[in-house]
Amino acid sequence: MENLHEAIRTSNFRYLTEDAIQTPLSFIENFCYFETEVETFRKDILFFLHAATTRKSDFNGKFYVNSEDYAYNCRQLISVIEVLWVLYHQPIPQLRIPDTHPLYQKSSWATDRIDVEKRINSGAAHFRKLENREINDIGFFLEEFFLYRNLNEWREILDDLLTYAYTNESIFDGTELLYESVAIYEYLEKAVEAIFLIADLNFKYNKSTDDIQTKGVQETNLNPTAQINGITLPNPIQEVPSLDDDTFTNNLIQYLEKFWSHREEGNENHSYGPVMFTETLEKELLSYFESFHPKFLSRNFRRIYMGYLEHLFANGTPWYYHELRAFTAHMDTFFELLELADQETAHWPQEDRIGWDEN
C-alpha cells in the first residue's frame, strides 16, 4: 500500500480487503454486477434504516423486527463507504463525464436540481437522488459525503443504526441524530447510487473520458459499447434496420444468449441457453408493442411500482415476504426489457402507438 494516498494507508479498513484497496474497481465490478443490483440494494438499505428509526412496538412492528439481513446489509454498506473513501483520496479517471456522454444531465431547472420526470425516463433512471452535477462529476458527491462525516464517523453512525434496528426503541429516541435524520437518509441513499454509477461509467459505458469527447466531436451518434466481465452486449443505439429481416427477433435472441452465458459463468449448477420464441409468442409480442409505446409502459409501470413500495413502507410487509423480495429484485430486469423494446422499435411508425406523443 506504499503507493497509495496517506489517508488510505493510515485508514483502518474494517471490511475492505487489501486487494480491494489496491484495485477498487475490481471490488465495484463484483459488487454491482454479481452481488446485488441498485434497486435491490437500495431497498435493503432503506428497510434497514427504517428498522433503526422506528419504534417496534407500534403497528409497524411486524415490518421491521427480527430480520437476519440487517447486519449483512449494514456490513455491505460499510464496505461501499470504505471503497468510496479510497476513490475520494485516489480517484479513478472515469468520475467526470463530458456533455456528450449518455448519462450527462441537462436541465432547464437550477443547476443542481433534478427534473425527476425526465430523469426516470433516461439512462440515469436508477440515480434519482444524485443531483445533476453529482452525476456529471461524482467527485462533488464524494467530497460532500466525507466532509459531512469522515470514514470513522460514518461507521459509528451505521453501528448505532444497526444496534437500534434490533431493539424496540428508535435511534431518534435518545440521540441527537433526530435533527440530522433527513440528511443521513439522503447521503446514504446517494452512496448506494454512487457506487452503481461508478460501475456504469467504468464498465457499462467503458469508453474513457477523452475517447468519449473525441467521438462526440467526430460523430453525431454516440454508440457506447456495454461490457460486463469481458462480455460485449449489443450497442443500445444501432443503425435503423428493416423489419423484413427479423432484426427485432434476432437481436433480442442475441441479447438473451449473451445475458444467459454471462449468468452461466457464475453458476455452474445450471445450464442456460438461448431463448427461442414460438411464432405465436413472437406475433403477440410484436403486436403488443405496435399498440403500446415502451416508454409509455415504463413510465406508468414505474409510477404504479413506486406507489406499491410506498404502500409497503407505510403498512408493513405482507405474509408472502420472500415471494415479494423475489418480485422486487426482478423488476429492474423488467424495466431494462422495456428499454430494449424502445430501442429496437424506434424505427416503427409512432403515431398509432399509445403514449407515443408523450415521449
- What's the Cα-to-Cα distance from 126 to each of 92, 147, 194, 320, rounded to whole Å? 22, 25, 10, 26
| Cβ-proximal residues to 295 (8 Å cutoff; 6+ apart), any chain | 121, 338, 342, 355, 358, 359
Whether residue 132 is predicted with pLDDT greater than 80 in this model: the reply is: yes
Give me the residues paired with residue 244 across strands: none
Give 305-315 pLDDT, tens digit per residue: 787 777 776 77
- Check: CB of residue 187 under 8 Å from CB of residue 84: no
Mean pLDDT score, 136-161: 93
pLDDT at 227: 46
Residue 117: band (very low, low, confident or very high) from pLDDT cuts 50, 70, 90 = low
Where is average pLDDT lowest: 5-14, 54-63, 195-204, 261-270? 261-270
Determine the length of the chain. 359
Whether residue 190 is predicted with pLDDT greater than 70 in this model: the reply is: yes
Mean pLDDT score, 85-112: 77
Phi, psi of 174 (to 5 degrees): -130, 15
Cell output for 358:
408523450
pLDDT at 220: 33
Whether residue 170 is predicted with pLDDT greater than 60 in this model: the reply is: yes
Give 51-97 pLDDT, tens digit per residue: 888 876 655 555 555 577 889 999 999 999 999 999 999 877 778 88
Mean pLDDT score, 176-189: 85
Taking the C-alpha atoms of residue 140 and residue 127, their distance in angstroms, rounded to an integer, is: 15
Mean pLDDT score, 138-143: 93
pLDDT at 245: 42
pLDDT at 168: 79
The angle at the Cα of 354, spanning 350 to 359, to the nearest 5 degrees, equals: 65
Q: What is the mean pLDDT of the chain?
A: 75
Rg (CA), the chain: 22
Give me the residues paired with residue 232 across strands: 227
| Cβ-proximal residues to 218 (8 Å cutoff; 6+ apart), any chain | none
Where is average pLDDT lowest: 11-15, 231-235, 274-278, 319-323? 231-235
Mean pLDDT score, 124-142: 88
pLDDT at 255: 52
According to DSSP, residue 149 is labeled S
Mean pLDDT score, 2-15: 85
In three-state form (DSSP H/G/I as H, E/B as E, the rest C), the secondary structure along 246-290 is CHHHHHHHHHHHHHHHHHHHHCCCCCCCCCCCCHHHHHHHHHHHH
Mean pLDDT score, 237-265: 47
Element (H, E) at 41: helix 38-52
| Cβ-proximal residues to 175 (8 Å cutoff; 6+ apart), any chain | 160
Whether residue 233 is predicted with pLDDT greater than 50 in this model: the reply is: no
71 in helix, strand or coil?
helix
